[in-house]
Structure 1
Amino acid sequence: MSHHPDHDVVIIGGGFSGIGAAILLDRAGFPDYLMVEEGDGVGGAWHWNTYPGVAVDIPSWSYQFSFEQMADWSRVYAPGRELKAYAEHCVDKYDVRRRIRLGTRVVSAEFDEDADLWRLGTSAGDTITARFVVGATGVLTQPKLPEIEGIADFAGTVMHTARWDHDVDLAGRRVAIVGTGASAVQVIPSIARDVAQLTVFQRTPIWCLPKLDSAMPRPLRLAMRVPGAKRLTRLASQAFVELTFPVAAHFHDVLPVSGIGERVGHRHLRRAVKDPAVREKLTPGYALGCKRPSFSNDYLQSFNRSNVHLETGAIERITPSGVLTEAGVEHEVDVLILATGFKVFEKGNMPAFTVTGAGGVDLESWWEEHRFQAYQGVSVPGFPNFFAILGPYGYNGSSYFNLIETQMAHITRCLRRARRTGATRVEVTPEANARYLERMLGRRHHQVFFQPSCANANSYYFDAHGDVPFRASSTLETMWTSSRFDLDDYRFEGAAV
């Protein structure tokens, strides 16, 4: 077998993580890369998720690369089609498209210890080799189907929000939607006015806060073209995002701003929902921050409609004609929409393909045995030359674009030293990884997630070990440490070292 890889770097995933990785590899002087993407287009979540009402849930000024800021978003919270267009714009402007292989899923990754390279098996049946791999598959990629008896027997149409079928006309139909998470909050008000009947099956109510959204006035869009205006707007937006998640989540005992958010949420609910009984069903029984909240100005109001029914009884099974609850009530429906989210810290998603490191160790099994962990969310001992954008304890809850740029600063520092020293094998030391995990776990008492009421939240933030693998850091700290961590936390080895 050849010891010369097909590419210096293979990026797995063509969403914004992969796009950002490609652009920043070029900027760092590593142009020999290939991006491998399962879908037939780029954009990741914004390529796959096309359901009615899909939009970003943080201000558009924060949801973009710092080096490629747009001045013409149509709304404060951009709709999904504009984010998909932004992805296409980036791959064209930065000459990434010619190094993308679409319609190809990586199904396995095996480290060749003799050659110090990765062998990636694909859905096409071939193998791609790379000296280094950047995992950029994200976590909100694999739709999670509910374990409800009888779904296969339903005689009508079934679709998951992440794989919306636009050929299905919902007008005048009886529709059931299972789940009230972030996707459902956007779908429900978007389809409620068109369907004959909409039955919403809720297991756990979501915190829903007012959305400071509006169409972007033309004068403001024009003003954004003034030098410095985009930078100032982004700074203000970043401060808002920082306050509403990283500060609220990771410094809860010092700055309990979630209490303010809860008061806003309760007031929003009182004003939006007329029926006290329905309002009670929509009231969360856990603290704000235990699970992902949502922002909407029309979700709660949807339950005032005569054709929308909120069902909180547990589902027993799906019948050929509808949904049967444990109370024995059958809701007859024509279309069943599954707004049941994604696999996150579950088998088959972390990682999304088989990863076999040094000594034949399987990454999924290693995490299952030792709990989720990765040095700064990037590297795992025993898996040389493999870097992740969104590994455990990498994301602090700020703008996802900030995560991409921060993690790539970390990764390119490693690649530069490897090139400088001639190293063909780069691996984080067990000691550095253990030290980082200990620091993250040691900050738990500051976080909102570990207060008693979170036990009632049914939150995907928690993994099977009871951990919440978010990076317990402010955004400024993540940026500082990614650009200044001690490179001796890695071993750089190879014939030339």
Structure 2
Amino acid sequence: MKTTHQVIIIGAGFGGLGMAIRLKEQGQDDLLIIEKAEDVGGCWRDNTYPGAACDVPSHLYSYSFERHYPWSRRFAPQKEIFAYQQYCAKKYDIYRHIRFKTEVAEARYQDDSRTWQVTLTNGETLSCKALITATGQLNQPAYPPLSGIDDFQGTHFHSARWNHEVDLTGKTVAVVGTGASAIQFVPEVAKVAGKLMLFQRSAAHVIAKPDRAYSGLEHQVLKRLPITQTLDRARIYAANESRALGFTSLQQAMKLYEWLFKRHLNKQISDPALREKLTPDYPMGCKRILMSNDYYPALARPNVEVINHGISSVDQNGLTDSTGTHHQADVIIYGTGFQATDFLTPMTIIGRQGQDLNDAWKDGAEAYLGMTVHGFPNLFMLYGPNTNLGHNSIIYMLESQIHYIRQCLAAMEEQTFQALEVQANIQSQFNDDVQRKIRGTVWDKGCHSWYKTESGKNTNNWPGFTFDYRRLTRQVNWSDYELVR
């Protein structure tokens, strides 16, 4: 088996697949994708919990080069998005480039040969000229740091590692967390559980989801006139993009969404006490705004209890909340999100002159344009620091990054240079500007979210329009880099 490649990509989700497809179009066939799981898909392969679906309309949550796909609904369910990724991998002949059930332990830059040495968890080593990480921000489940969490004698699992063998019918189920995953699976679990206890540390802003199935006539029109899907994609993009103003420079615009939230809550929850529990105490948009039509009705069911206290500990039989009250449970489901600020974990990345990326990022992850880091030549990141969105499709951001990285790799292929490394002052200036802009956004208005590190630095979100990011990544400014010819 070949051990030396021009390009190695880590991860076969939307980022890794898109990168490989575009590189093959460019004539680059000497590439390898390393994937720890058994198939492509990333978070859309892993998150198989009941009710899993996207909150970006399907016509926009797709590649620009593969936009004409027969989506069944306005917001695609998980199985359909996963099938779309498999379809793209097959159509563009990507499967033969992937090594499945393979995990990276360490990647180390070789100063003498200007290559990356990639060590797998089985001890095998590979090498490449360019290393691209496409591991995403939502791949390592986060469990709350609770004492006794492993003492529980019943079944317990994270929503991103759903245990489908467990029958929840009639069981007393404790759900910890009220994020984007929980609002989708809680309604499904509530239908079958004998009792569902929802532990929320802080309430979420939930608005109605304008979802529906596409009719047979619509499918015919979309198939015969593909331009209609393209136009709908553009319409969705423009509508979503306008929401960036509410997060950043025109936060008064959030008042419309606050009104939509309150109307949705008041319409679906009649009990004043429950309504008060479900009203957040932070500005709208500070945490991710969620969409659901069945979350609030599920919480109003007689078999569901919303517990507005944190959890202090777990024991063999259940959980004890912060008031000292013990709650017995048969099953505990953790809907507690991901280690989103721990980029590239658990891999070790060692750059030029033995520099550890964890040390470089000890004050919080940062990268130039979210893609390149000083001290780590020929290392590129997809969906890296400060490229997450709160208002639009992440695939648009990924395609901007893919286009930029393609330019870098094409120049290397043409032997214009052997290595490129972003200059330290360029990276610092860019990240100082990003953090300055974030300080004026709604994300910095006093809530604790997965966008931030423990110290409070927002390492995840892009503080502006996606078309601004695309403008910045359209053409590589070679003077930003130290080029080794």
TM-score normalised per structure 1: 0.94
User: In structure 1, what is the equivalent of residue 308 of structure 2?
Assistant: 312
Residues 1:471 and 2:469 are matched in the alignment: no
User: In structure 1, what is the equivalent of residue 103 of structure 2?
Assistant: 105
Report how far residue 123 of structure 1 moved.
1.8
In structure 2, the CA distance between the partners of 1:446 and 1:258, relative to structure 1 (3 Å rule), is: same
Distance 1:296 1:183 in 2: 11
Distance 2:68 2:36 in 1: 27
Distance 1:267 1:79 in 2: 26
User: In structure 1, what is the equivalent of residue 23 of structure 2?
Assistant: 25
Secondary structure class of the residue paired with 1:405? helix
Residues 1:231 and 2:224 are matched in the alignment: no
Distance 2:404 2:245 in 1: 23
Report how far residue 333 of structure 1 moved.
1.3
In structure 2, the CA distance between the partners of 1:372 and 1:302, relative to structure 1 (3 Å rule), is: same
User: In structure 2, what is the equivalent of residue 206 of structure 1?
Assistant: 204
Contact 1:146/1:340 (<8 A) preserved: yes
User: In structure 1, what is the equivalent of residue 188 of structure 2?
Assistant: 190
Residues 1:363 and 2:357 are matched in the alignment: yes
Report how far residue 252 of structure 1 moved.
3.4
User: In structure 2, what is the equivalent of residue 482 of structure 1?
Assistant: 473
Deviations 1:146-200 (A, max 9, x none): 1112221111100110000111111111111011111100010011111111010
Alignment of 1:446-465 (within 5 A): 446-451=440-445, 455=446, 457-465=447-455
Q: What code does the residue aligned with 1:189 have?
A: P
User: In structure 2, what is the equivalent of residue 431 of structure 1?
Assistant: 425
Contact 2:408/2:476 (<8 A) preserved: no
More moved, 113-122 vs 327-336? 327-336
Deviations 1:472-494 (A, max 9, x none): 2311111122112412212221x
Residues 1:270 and 2:266 are matched in the alignment: yes
Distance 1:395 1:461 in 2: 9
Alignment of 1:138-217 (within 5 A): 138-217=136-215
Report how far residue 404 of structure 1 moved.
1.3
Report how far residue 431 of structure 1 moved.
2.4
Secondary structure class of the residue paired with 1:86? helix
Q: What code does the residue aligned with 1:128 have?
A: L
Distance 1:431 1:316 in 2: 45
In structure 2, the CA distance between the partners of 1:314 and 1:481, relative to structure 1 (3 Å rule), is: closer
Residues 1:353 and 2:347 are matched in the alignment: yes
Following TM superposition, the consecutive aligned residue runs of length 4 or more in structure 1 with deviations greater than 6 angstroms are none
Report how far residue 420 of structure 1 moved.
2.7
Report how far residue 251 of structure 1 moved.
2.7
Secondary structure class of the residue paired with 1:129? strand
Count matched residues.
481
Distance 1:201 1:75 in 2: 31
Distance 2:477 2:291 in 1: 40
Aligned identity (percent) is 35
Q: CA RMSD in A?
A: 1.6
Deviations 1:322-345 (A, max 9, x none): 122233322221111011111011
Distance 1:128 1:250 in 2: 44
Contact 2:435/2:458 (<8 A) preserved: no
Distance 1:449 1:316 in 2: 27
Q: What code does the residue aligned with 1:259 have?
A: K
Report how far residue 80 of structure 1 moved.
0.2
Residues 1:76 and 2:74 are matched in the alignment: yes
Report how far residue 430 of structure 1 moved.
1.4
Contact 1:345/1:464 (<8 A) preserved: no
Report how far residue 471 of structure 1 moved.
2.2
Distance 1:426 1:464 in 2: 32
Distance 2:145 2:113 in 1: 43
Distance 1:260 1:238 in 2: 19
Contact 1:377/1:395 (<8 A) preserved: no
Contact 2:32/2:97 (<8 A) preserved: yes
Distance 2:332 2:455 in 1: 33
TM-score normalised per structure 2: 0.96
User: In structure 1, what is the equivalent of residue 134 of structure 2?
Assistant: 136
Deviations 1:384-419 (A, max 9, x none): 000001121233443111111100111111112222
Alignment of 1:382-397 (within 5 A): 382-397=375-390
Report how far residue 458 of structure 1 moved.
2.3
Secondary structure class of the residue paired with 1:182? coil
Distance 1:95 1:184 in 2: 36
Q: What code does the residue aligned with 1:231 have?
A: T
Secondary structure class of the residue paired with 2:398? helix
